[in-house]
């Protein structure tokens, strides 16, 4: 079954409200979309929102790569060879994870629809539902408590606090959340590379009586060798994010033992196939899988959820990246009820174009 048409475009998706992380304030997000059409009329959709600061590729770069290299090359290819096509794109444009992810996701969606099976159907489904965390940006304490209360009314039980500017203030937020909500919430923090080792140790000390579940990437890549001075139990609760881009970096991290948790993002590793390569490295090292995202369309969030449910050593998901979008081009993909995410059913990624 041949691909007869391929189109790519970029769309600026508005957020419902802006939020702040250690590096910047986010108000809207650019997502790149790729549509491929088969000769029987089936359409597969891919999406990408890579962060230039993390992977060296912007959404604008992704669109250029797709238009100049991928679209003309894809036309006429057989969807039944989708795995080979993904490998070829990786060879054609190495170190372009946004481009690869967009193509990978579109091909998975199209192939799944072609064989009338969800992506988890041909990879194997280990989970039917998992609780996701929801994110609170860097706010003052009162605003943080108000956001948490709003999430509680929606049924969410896991909070992820963006931190990394001031360890004392960060710890105070955790303590106030515990005082206000007791043990209702599981609390995770994401320092977004904003700490030094001393600041990390300070934060961990201040929250030792009100522990958090995990801490994402506290130190910048290139300086996280310092984490090896921490105790094994402390390192076990650290999640590699910006330091973990592909299976090569995963292998190096396994050897160092700096992190006990691997945060896999399709936008860093190049899609579902790239994610599985990291997962394969992590499993024998007993590293737990934590599936994260950027601010992304339902398209790529659904793809990440299919990948997460297909890995038996998945332990955490943080796939709230489409919750804050005021608009999208698709619907479906997954369901969210009381903080639990499950697949909505349907072939491929279970998504449908609406605009």
Q: List the chain pLDDT tens, one digit each, 355 residues.
A: 999 999 999 999 988 877 666 556 677 789 999 999 999 999 999 999 999 999 999 999 999 999 999 999 999 999 999 999 999 999 999 999 999 999 999 999 999 999 999 999 999 999 999 999 999 989 999 999 999 999 999 999 999 999 999 999 999 999 999 999 999 999 999 999 999 999 999 999 999 988 899 999 999 999 999 999 999 999 999 999 999 999 999 999 999 999 999 999 999 999 999 999 999 999 999 999 999 999 999 999 999 999 999 999 999 999 999 998 999 999 999 999 999 999 999 999 999 999 8
**pLDDT attached to residue 26:** 72
Cβ neighbours of 76 (radius 10 Å): 11
**pLDDT attached to residue 190:** 97
Please say whether the beta carbons of 19 and 137 come within 8 A.
yes
Q: How far apart are the two ends of the chain, measured CA to CA in Å?
A: 26
H/E stretch holding 277 reads: helix 272-282
47-60 pLDDT, tens per residue? 999 999 999 999 99
By DSSP bridging, strand 330-332 and strand 351-353 are antiparallel
Query: Considering the entire predicted model, what is its pTM?
Result: 0.95
Architecture of domain 121-353: Alpha-Beta Barrel (3.20)
How far apart are the C-alpha atoms of 122 and 105, rounded to whole Å?
15
How far apart are the C-alpha atoms of 331 and 5, rounded to whole Å?
22
Percent of the chain having pLDDT more than 70? 98
| Sequence-ordered list of residues with C-beta below 8 angstroms from that of 181, at least 6 positions apart, any chain | 148, 152
Residue 288 token pair: 């737990």
What superfamily would CATH give domain 3-117?
Enolase-like, N-terminal domain (3.30.390.10)
Mean pLDDT computed over every residue of the chain: 95
176-225 pLDDT, tens per residue? 999 999 999 999 999 999 999 999 999 999 999 888 999 999 999 999 99
**pLDDT attached to residue 46:** 98
- Looking up tokens 């089936």 gives 42
Q: What are the φ and ψ backbone dihedral angles of 240, each rounded to 5 degrees? A: -75, 130
Kindly report, as residue ranges, where domains of CATH 3.30.390.10 are found in the chain: 3-117
Q: DSSP class of residue 210?
A: S
Residue 136 token pair: 């609170």
- Looking up tokens 């579940």 gives 213
How far apart are the C-alpha atoms of 180 and 231, rounded to whole Å?
30
Class of residue 140 by CB neighbours under 10 A (exposed 0-12, middle 13-18, buried 19+): exposed
Integer CA distances (angstroms), 303 to 33, 86, 157, in order: 13, 15, 23
Q: 3-state DSSP call for residue 66? A: helix
Total number of residues shown for the chain: 355
Class of residue 127 by CB neighbours under 10 A (exposed 0-12, middle 13-18, buried 19+): middle
Alpha helices (H) in 182-222, listed in sequence order: 197-206
**pLDDT attached to residue 15:** 87
């Amino acid at each position: 079954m041949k691909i007869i048409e391929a189109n790519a475009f970029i769309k600026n998706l508005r957020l419902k409200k802006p939020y702040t992380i250690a590096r910047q304030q986010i108000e809207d997000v650019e997502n790149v979309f790729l549509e491929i059409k088969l000769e029987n009329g089936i359409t597969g959709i891919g999406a990408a929102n890579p962060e230039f600061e993390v992977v060296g590729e912007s959404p604008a770069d992704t669109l250029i790569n797709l238009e100049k290299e991928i679209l003309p090359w894809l036309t006429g290819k057989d969807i039944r060879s989708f795995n080979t096509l993904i490998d070829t794109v990786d060879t054609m444009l190495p170190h372009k994870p946004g481009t690869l992810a967009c193509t990978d996701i579109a091909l998975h969606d199209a192939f799944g629809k072609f064989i009338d099976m969800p992506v988890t159907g041909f990879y194997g489904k280990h989970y039917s539902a998992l609780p996701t965390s929801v994110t609170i940006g860097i706010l003052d304490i009162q605003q943080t408590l108000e956001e948490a209360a709003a999430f509680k009314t929606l049924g969410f039980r896991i909070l992820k606090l963006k931190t990394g500017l001031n360890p004392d203030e960060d710890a105070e937020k955790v303590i106030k959340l515990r005082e206000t909500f007791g043990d209702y919430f599981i609390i995770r923090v994401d320092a977004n590379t904003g700490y030094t080792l001393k600041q990390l140790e300070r934060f961990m000390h201040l929250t030792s009586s009100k522990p958090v579940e995990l801490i994402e990437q506290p130190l910048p890549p290139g300086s996280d060798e310092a984490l090896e001075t921490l105790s094994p139990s402390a390192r076990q609760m650290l999640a590699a994010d910006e330091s973990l881009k592909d299976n090569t970096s995963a292998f190096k991290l396994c050897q160092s033992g700096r992190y006990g948790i691997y945060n896999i993002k399709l936008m860093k590793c190049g899609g579902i196939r790239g994610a599985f390569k990291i997962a394969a490295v992590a499993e024998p090292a007993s590293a737990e899988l934590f599936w994260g995202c950027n601010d992304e369309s339902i398209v790529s969030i659904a793809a990440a959820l299919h990948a997460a449910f297909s890995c038996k050593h998945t332990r955490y998901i943080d796939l709230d990246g489409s919750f804050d979008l005021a608009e999208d081009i698709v619907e479906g993909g997954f369901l969210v009820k009381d903080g639990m995410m499950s697949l909505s059913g349907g072939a491929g990624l279970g998504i449908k174009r609406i605009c």
